[in-house]
Amino acid sequence: MPQNTPELEKKAIDTIRFLAVDAVENANSGHPGMPMGAAPMAHVLWTRHLRFNPKDPRWPNRDRFVLSAGHGSMLIYALLHLAGFDVTLDDLRKFRQLHSKTPGHPEFRDTPGVEATTGPLGQGIANAVGMALSLKMLAARVGEGLIDGYVYGICSDGDLMEGVSAEASSLAGHLQLGNLVFLYDDNRVSLAGHTDVTFTEDRLKRYEAYGWHTQKVEDGNDTEAIDRAIRAAKQQKERPSLIAVRTIIGYGSPNKADTHEAHGSPLGKDEVRLAKQKLGWPQEPTFLVPDEVRASWAARVGELKKTYDAWQQKLEQWRKDAAHARLWDQYANREVPRDLAEQLAKVVASTTAAEATRKVSQAVIQKVAELVPNVVGGSADLDPSTFTYIKDGGDVRPGDYRGRNIHFGVREHGMGAVVNGFAYDGFFVPYGATFLLFSDYMRPPIRLAALSRLQSLFVYTHDSIFLGEDGPTHQPIEQLASLRAIPNLQVWRPGDPLEVAASWVAALQRKEGPTALVLTRQKLPPLQRATAGDLQKTLRGAYTLVEAQGDPGLVIVATGSELPASQAALQFLDPGLRARTRLVSMPCVERFLEWPGDEQRKLLPHDTRTKLVAVEAAGGLDWYRIIGDGLMVGIDRFGASAPEKALAEAYGMTPQKIAGRISKWLAEGARTNTKG
Secondary structure (3-state) at 43: helix
Q: What is the mean pLDDT of residues 453-475?
A: 97
DSSP state of 55: T
Round to whole Å and give the CA distance between 82 and 64: 17
pLDDT in tens, 136-156: 999 999 987 899 999 999 999
Q: In 3D, which of 667, 643, 645, 666 has the Cα closest to residue 655? A: 645
Q: Which domains does the chain have, with CATH numbers?
A: 6-307 (3.40.50.970), 340-524 (3.40.50.970), 541-675 (3.40.50.920)
Q: What is the mean pLDDT of residues 247-270?
A: 94
Q: What is the mean pLDDT of residues 206-223?
A: 98
Asked whether 214 and 242 are in contact (CB, 8 A), the reply is: yes
Q: In 3D, which of 96, 82, 23, 94 has the Cα closest to residue 286? A: 23
Could you give the angle at which helices 163-174 and 412-425 cross, rounded to 10 degrees? Answer: 70
566: confidence class by pLDDT, cuts 50, 70, 90: very high
Secondary structure (3-state) at 153: strand
Amino acid 352: pLDDT? 86
The overall average pLDDT reported for the chain is 96
DSSP state of 216: E
pLDDT in tens, 436-462: 999 999 999 999 999 999 999 999 999
In whole angstroms, how far apart are CA 28 and each of 22, 31, 635?
10, 10, 48
In whole angstroms, how far apart are CA 414 and each of 36, 39, 291, 428, 473?
30, 29, 44, 18, 21
Amino acid 671: pLDDT? 63
User: In the Cβ-directed half-sphere of 572, how many Cα atoms lie within 13 Å?
Assistant: 16
- pLDDT at residue 674 is higher than 60: no
Catalytic-role residue among 261, 412, 562, 644: 412
Amino acid 530: pLDDT? 65
Continuous segment of H or E residues that includes residue 361: helix 357-371
Cβ neighbors of 88 (< 8 A, separation 6 or more) are: 81
Q: In 3D, which of 636, 362, 371, 609 has the Cα closest to residue 478? A: 636
Geometric angle at alpha carbon 217, from 18 and 304, rounded to 5°: 60
Amino acid 672: pLDDT? 61
Are β-strands 457-461 and 429-435 bridged in parallel, bridged antiparallel, or unpaired? parallel
- CB burial readout 535-563, b (16+ within 10 A) else e: beebbbbbbebbebeeebbbbbbbbbbbb
Please tell me whether the peptide bond between 285 and the residue prior to it is cis, using omega within 30 degrees of 0: yes
Residue 183 pairs with which residues in a beta bridge? 154, 243
pLDDT in tens, 383-419: 999 999 999 999 999 999 999 999 999 999 999 999 9
pLDDT in tens, 67-104: 999 999 999 999 999 999 999 999 999 999 999 999 99
Asked whether 115 and 145 are in contact (CB, 8 A), the reply is: no
Backbone angles phi, psi at 226, to 5 degrees: -65, -45
Amino acid 526: pLDDT? 85
Q: In 3D, which of 474, 559, 489, 485 has the Cα closest to residue 519? A: 559
Cβ neighbors of 446 (< 8 A, separation 6 or more) are: 416, 439, 456, 458, 483, 486, 489, 514, 516
Q: What is the mean pLDDT of residues 262-290?
A: 96
Model-wide pTM > 0.85: yes
673: confidence class by pLDDT, cuts 50, 70, 90: low
- pLDDT at residue 276 is higher than 70: yes
Residue 558 pairs with which residues in a beta bridge? 585, 615
Helix, strand, coil proportions of the chain in percent (round to 5)?
45, 15, 40
Secondary structure (3-state) at 182: strand
Instruction: Give the rounded percent of residues in the chain with a pLDDT score beyond 90.
Output: 94
**Cα 173–chain centre separation:** 21
192: confidence class by pLDDT, cuts 50, 70, 90: confident
Q: In 3D, which of 159, 30, 146 has the Cα closest to residue 96? A: 30
Backbone angles phi, psi at 324, to 5 degrees: -65, -45
Backbone angles phi, psi at 316, to 5 degrees: -60, -40
Counting every residue, how long is the chain?
676
Q: What is the mean pLDDT of residues 258-276?
A: 94
Q: In 3D, which of 23, 52, 53, 54 has the Cα closest to residue 36? A: 23
DSSP state of 5: P
Asked whether 343 and 337 are in contact (CB, 8 A), the reply is: yes
pLDDT in tens, 553-562: 999 999 999 9
- pLDDT at residue 2 is higher than 50: no
Round to whole Å and give the CA distance between 616 and 558: 6
pLDDT in tens, 348-382: 998 889 999 999 999 999 999 999 999 999 999 99
Cβ neighbors of 479 (< 8 A, separation 6 or more) are: 436, 437, 439, 440, 460, 618
Round to whole Å and give the CA distance between 185 and 164: 18
Residue 412: active-site member: yes
Q: In 3D, which of 182, 188, 246, 171 has the Cα closest to residue 213? A: 182
Amino acid 430: pLDDT? 98
Could you give the angle at which helices 33-48 and 291-318 cross, rounded to 10 degrees? Answer: 50
Secondary structure (3-state) at 654: coil
- pLDDT at residue 1 is higher than 60: no
Round to whole Å and give the CA distance between 78 and 16: 6
193: confidence class by pLDDT, cuts 50, 70, 90: confident
